Amino acid sequence: MTVATNPSGRRSGYRDAARIGRTEAGPRPLPPLSESKPAAEFELVERTLPTGLRVIAVARRTVPTVELRLRIPFAGEDRTHPARAEVLASALLSGTAKRDRVQIDNELAAIGAEFAVGVDPERLLISGSALATGLPELLDVLADLLTAAAYPEVEFSRERERLAERIMVARSQPRMVAREALQRRRYGDHPAARELPESGDVLDVTPDDVARLHAEQVLPTGSTLVLVGDIEPDRAIALVAEALGGWAPPGVASELPPLPALVGRDLLLVHRPGAVQSQLRLSAAAVPRTDPRYPALQLANLVFGGYFSSRLVENLREDKGYTYSAQSFVEFSPYAAALLVETDVTTDVTAASVLETRYELARLSAVPPDEAELESARRYAIGSLLISLDSQPGVASTLSALAGVGLDARWLRAHPAALEAVTLEQVAQVAAEFFTPTAFTGVVVGDADVVSHRLRALGGIELP
Amino acid sequence: MSIAPSPTQLLHLHRLRLPNGLRVLLAPDPSTPVVTVSVHVDVGFRSEPEGRTGFAHLFEHLMFQGSESLEKLAHFRHVQGSGGVFNGSTHQDYTDYFEVLPAAALERALFLEADRLRAPTLTEENLRNQVDVVKEEIRLNVLSRPYGGFPWILLPPVLYDTFPNAHNGYGDFSELERATLDDAAVFFDSFYAPGNTVLTVVGDIDIDETSRLVDKHFGDILARPTPPRPSFAEPWRGAQRQQTVPDAHAPMPALALGYRLPDPAVDLEGYLAHTLLGSVLADGEAARLQRRLVYGESIVTDLSAGAGLSGSPLNARDPDTFIITAVHPASVEPERVMRVVDEELDRLVQKGPDSGELSRISARWASSIYHEHDRVMSRTLALGSRELLYGRAELAAALPDKLAAIGPAQVAKAAAGLRAQGRAVLVVEPTGATNGGEQR
């Protein structure tokens, strides 16, 4: 930068900060919003195939591509289930009876396609996308994976080894350490707490174990396939019926057992030696989308910490500078929902941040959201839903996630009106019921040698 | 199945230039219920002054702290309270700001962006608060995690010698703390001049009405001289240079190889051939390094290869960087990984990729560019950044055809170019001090 500096240290030729911040015309009024334009209705067809697979196809012809989500409920009670499930997800694309790993990838690439496979305690999710003209080929490869995945020995041991290495890398992330500690604190030994397997368990998994798991749990009944893109929905469903007709084993895909009820208790301090930041993770029971109180809870959560213009962010970040980001959100499972509050703060303000977070939780019931706060949250909830549905992957992921909790596009259509109808009283009620600090449990992960002293003084913390 | 128009047909770009120098891109799209407004300013961390590393990014934060008509926090509240989302980001050569809202908020979005571009409120209190916030961002993204700043902060000082190209764009804490209000005023007055800025609007907009609104809100922003843009060119290196950095959090070593790229403004085809080369090497299970390093010799856990410091091509002016990264077990010497990389590059120099391989890669690129176009937000940012960097917003849509036109010989030539230069080698070495989080 070329800047002239005069002897007094002031740089010449530029306005100072005060001058920059003023114009002759002075402050101007905020323009009003104009007429809103409703989102186009989905061109959607839904059918359950004779095999039990539910198929949802939506036309969205913005670009010549198609998006695919296959969600298979995939819970398991056994302690080694997460390891077998992760290895299955990692090795699913490594070969079938008639295609090897490289052939699968070449055939997908030829139609501009990709598949990604992910698993968590609830479901196996196969996500894909392709040029729309390639849909028949995409479905052909998918059918091959579902009915004839071979888990070939050589590829298998390499995938297993890589997975163990990746798990090691994942566990070195502070956010993963915090997530695992929170899951143990919230759910103890419940399968929902086992999101990442042990490296040792992964190395014990054999191709036979995975083939058996595939045969027993990769099932069409209970599963949902979503297609969104430049397609004719009826024709797309006919293609699916033809391509996946042979995927027809009996049985029902396995849903996660109900979660234990969340009850408030002390936060647990987890020691991470030498940490420069602490992770705060607080959680309490919430209600699912099907509950009549959900729209009010969603809005109360936004006001608390659910978006940037929330009390928590304005306090912790914009007033105190304790954090780069703080947020709260509602986490859904098939039978329940939980509130989650998350922030990472610098070590020396750990206790202060716990205090401020508890203060904001208590304040939400003591000083409930006012009209302006409610209106802002309401507009954001409705607008951000519209924005999130303005892409093929956005529509596909949303419909797939809703299917996982027993809801569909009708819920999406009805939800904006439900948000419009929420009153201040309803928000105050859910704030008092769900956001009271004593309803929360959780963890603080940080350097106990530095943070214990002040946390002890604060109380309500279980120290190492 | 219907035949969708190609993105190029869909663009319908309209360009305006206001008397104060502001460049305006309007791209009407009647299919969407949302509107995106973005502002791209021609200053990134390569332009920040010595002694003030991290200043371009810190200043981006300050632009959210209020302006003449908007008190602190009002910008966030008005965007979100109108049903929208927002963000900003700082790159090598530009800083962007955007908001996506329901279409009814178009004029409000223009007002919000214009107000801070005309008269931002720069105060000592906000400066100190945002220095704290930025330090937390750096702790979160760099200091407290494994592979923090790998490779975007760690590799440039190995490949480049001059301050603009080599320094850490997030900044040193001590220099962030020394930033003054006067620094901010000078930075704004010179770099944030309207002539140094591109405004992009995408949505179901009427060209005449939107032009009128743009003029109403941006027209009286003070015209100022546009700062001269210095060249950041520096000579290509003849010999390899290697550096090792310790990482207390990383469980496994990592390796990054940095190479220079052709100037995309001068040799776009040559640049894009490198983009395809990156995919030939590392994208997908059939890619060459994937097959040899990850599977065949089983010495690498994860790898990547491609153009751009941030992992995506055409996001900076010259000089830009081609990067290969690999995470591997400690039992594997980095030299062994590099030997295989060189062998695979040599094979490509001699024989080139086969044409089927290239057409498959082009099909995947086309798919991903269509996806970028589908989301109004990513489409807007691609249009605005390409207009600012190269004066060619259309590139965002023309890329599928341009990539498809590149042949094996051009990719072979790109591989030869990598082999002929002295690359940068960055080795991240785990020191294993603080892993995991045992309870006690």
Cis-peptide into B33, omega within 30 deg: no
User: Which residue from B73, B105, B377 is facing A314, i.e. has the nearest CB?
Assistant: B73
Yes or no, beta carbons of B145 and A174 under 8 Å apart: yes
A187 plus A274 within the same structural domain: no
Collect all residues of chain B within an 8 Å Cβ-Cβ radius of residue A166. Answer: 301-302
Structural domain boundaries, residue A439: 267-462
Q: Is residue A5 part of a domain?
A: no
Question: Are A197 and A283 members of one domain?
Answer: no
A206 with A280, same domain: the answer is no
Residue B135 near chain A (CB below 8 Å): yes
The answer to whether position A17 is within a domain reads no
Query: B363, A131: Cβ pair inside 8 Å?
Result: yes
Tell me, yes or no, if B34 comes closer than 8 A to chain A by beta carbon: yes
B20 touches chain A (CB under 8 A): no
Q: Nearest CA to CA, how far is B307 from chain A (Å)?
A: 20
Sequence-separated (6 or more) residues with CB below 8 Å from residue B250:
A169, A172, B146, B147, B428, B430
Q: Does A26 reside within a domain?
A: no
CATH classification of the domain holding A144: 3.30.830.10
* Predicted pLDDT of residue A409: 94
| A211/A297 same-domain check | no
Establish if B225 touches chain A: CB-CB under 8 angstroms. Answer: no
Q: Taking CB atoms and an 8 Å cutoff, what residues of chain A touch B327?
A: 165, 169
Q: Which of B68, B128, B186 sits opposite A11 (nearest CB)?
A: B186
Pairing of strands A441-446, A461-462: unpaired
> A413 vs chain B: nearest CA distance in angstroms?
15
**Spatial distance between the Cα atoms of A350 and A278, rounded to a whole number of angstroms:** 6
Report which of B363, B375, B85 is spatially closest to residue A60, judged by C-alpha positions. Answer: B375
Chain A residues 14-33 with a CB less than 8 Å from chain B:
14-17, 19-23, 25-33
Given a cut of 70, is residue B10 above it in pLDDT? no
Tell me which residues of chain A, numbers 432 to 461, contact chain B at a CB-CB cutoff of 8 Å: 445, 448
Q: In this predicted structure, what is the pLDDT of residue B11?
A: 75
pLDDT score at B32? 93
Q: How far is A250 from chain B (nearest CA, A)?
A: 32
Give the domain-ending residue among A198, A227, A243.
Answer: A243
Question: Smallest Cβ distance to B367: which of A30, A65, A309?
Answer: A65
3-class DSSP state of B186: helix
Chain A contact probe: residue of B140, B224, B377 with most A CBs at under 10 A = B140
Q: What pLDDT, on the 0 to 100 scale, is given for residue A11?
A: 63
How many residues are given for chain A?
A: 464
pLDDT above 80 (res B410): yes
Q: Å from B262 to nearest chain A CA?
A: 26
Q: Across the interface, do A110 and B107 touch by the CB < 8 Å criterion?
A: no
- CB pair distance less than 8 Å for B140 and A325: yes
Q: Which of B80, B291, B329 sits opposite A165 (nearest CB)?
A: B329
Indicate the residue of B140, B301, B361 with minimum beta-carbon distance to A324.
B140
Last residue of a domain, one of A243, A278, A309: A243
Please give the average per-residue pLDDT across B337-352, as a whole number.
Answer: 98
Residue B98 is given by DSSP the state: E
Q: How far is B439 from chain A (nearest CA, A)?
A: 5
For residue A464, what pLDDT is reported? 87
The residue of chain B nearest to residue A13, with distances taken between CA atoms, is B186
CATH of domain B241-430: 3.30.830.10
Same domain, A306 and A238: no
Q: What is the mean pLDDT of residues B262-287?
A: 96
B219 in A contact zone (CB under 8 Å): no
A12 found inside a domain: no
Higher pLDDT, B325 or B143: B325
Q: What percent of chain B has pLDDT over 70?
A: 96
B266 in A contact zone (CB under 8 Å): no
A299 and A235 in a single domain? The answer is: no
Asked if B51 has any chain A CB less than 8 Å from its own CB, the reply is no
Shortest distance, CA A252 to any CA of chain B (angstroms)? 32
Cα–Cα distance measured from residue B113 to residue A431, given in angstroms and rounded to the nearest whole number: 34
A residues 36..75 contacting B (CB < 8 A): 36-40, 61-65
**Three-class DSSP category at B303:** strand
**What is the pLDDT at residue B318?**
97
Assess B72–A contact: CB distance below 8 Å, yes or no. yes
Would the CB atoms of B291 and A102 count as touching at under 8 Å?
A: yes
| Residue B83 pLDDT > 80 | yes
pLDDT score of B386 more than 60: yes
pTM of the model: 0.93
- Strands A267-271 and A461-462 turn out to be parallel
Using a CB-CB cut-off of 8 Å, the residues of chain B touching A15 are 185, 189
Collapsing DSSP to helix, strand or coil, B349 comes out as helix
B366 to chain A, any CB pair closer than 8 A? The answer is yes
SS3 track for B355-408: HHHHHHHHHHHHHHHHHHHHCHHHHHHHHHHHHHHHCCCCHHHHHHHHHHCCCH
A443 and A405, same structural domain?
A: yes
Beta carbons of B144 and A275 less than 8 Å apart: yes
Successive 10-residue mean pLDDT values, chain A, 464 residues: 40 87 96 84 95 98 96 95 97 96 96 97 97 98 98 90 92 94 94 92 96 98 98 98 97 92 96 94 96 97 96 93 94 89 96 97 96 97 95 97 93 95 98 96 97 94 93
Interchain contact, B361 vs A109, CB within 8 Å: yes
* Interchain contact, A102 vs B140, CB within 8 Å: no
In this complex, how many residue pairs, one in chain A and one in chain B, have their CB atoms less than 8 Å apart?
A: 320
| B414 contacts chain A (CB < 8 A) | no
Supply the pLDDT for residue A6.
40
Position A252 in a domain: no
- In this structure, the strands spanning A123-131 and A65-73 are antiparallel
- Are A322 and A453 contained in the same domain? yes
CA distance B81 to chain A (A): 4
Q: In what order do the strands lie in the sheet with B254-260?
A: B241-247, B424-430, B254-260, B321-327, B302-307
Enumerate the residues of chain A whose CB falls inside 8 A of the CB of residue B131.
321
Contact A171/B251, CB-based, under 8 Å?
yes
With CA atoms as reference, the chain A residue closest to B230 would be: A1
Homologous superfamily of B9-218 in CATH? Metalloenzyme, LuxS/M16 peptidase-like (3.30.830.10)
DSSP 8-state class, residue B291: I
Contacts of A104 in chain B (CB under 8 A): 285
> Nearest CB to B186: which of A3, A268, A445?
A3
B87-121 residue pLDDT tens = 999 999 999 999 999 999 999 999 999 999 999 99
3-state secondary structure chain A: CCCCECCCCCECCCCCHHHHCCCCCCCCCCCCCCCCCCCCCCEEEEEECCCCCEEEEEECCCCCEEEEEEEEEECCCCCCHHHHHHHHHHHHHHEECCCEHHHHHHHHHHCCCEEEEEECCCEEEEEEEEEHHHHHHHHHHHHHHHHHECCCHHHHHHHHHHHHHHHHHHHCCHHHHHHHHHHHHHHCCCHHHCCCCCHHHHHHCCHHHHHHHHHHHCCCCCCEEEEEECCCHHHHHHHHHHHCCCCCCCCCCECCCCCCCCCCCCEEEEECCCCCEEEEEEEEEECCCCCCCHHHHHHHHHHHHHCCCCHHHHHHHHHCCCEEEEEEEEEECCCCEEEEEEEEEEHHHHHHHHHHHHHHHHHHHHCCCCHHHHHHHHHHHHHHHHHHCCCHHHHHHHHHHHHHCCCCHHHHHHHHHHHHCCCHHHHHHHHHHHCCHHHCEEEEEECHHHHHHHHHHHCCEECC
Cβ-Cβ contacts under 8 Å, A162 against chain B: 294, 301-302
Inter-chain contact B69–A27, Cβ cutoff 8 Å?
yes
Residue B188 touches chain A, beta carbons under 8 Å: yes
pLDDT > 60? residue B6: no
Is the CB of A271 inside 8 Å of chain B's CB atoms? yes
Closest-CA residue in chain B for A37?
Answer: B33
Q: How far is CA A273 from CA A278, B141, B143, in A?
A: 11, 18, 14
Compare all CA atoms of chain B with the CA of A5 and give the residue at the minimum distance: B186
What pLDDT, in 10s, does the model give residues B172-223?
999 999 999 999 999 999 999 999 999 999 999 999 999 999 999 999 999 9
Of A181, A208, A243, which marks where a domain is finished?
A243
Instruction: Find, in chain B, the residue whose alpha carbon is nearest to that of A61.
Output: B4
The span from the CA of A331 to the CA of A405, in Å, is: 11
Chain A residue at shortest CA distance from B75: A309
Chain B closest-CA separation from residue A28 CA (Å) = 6
- The answer to whether residue B354 scores a pLDDT higher than 90 is yes
Return the residue of A nearest to B114 by Cα: A28
How many domains are there within chain A? Answer: 2
Same domain? A102 vs A206: yes
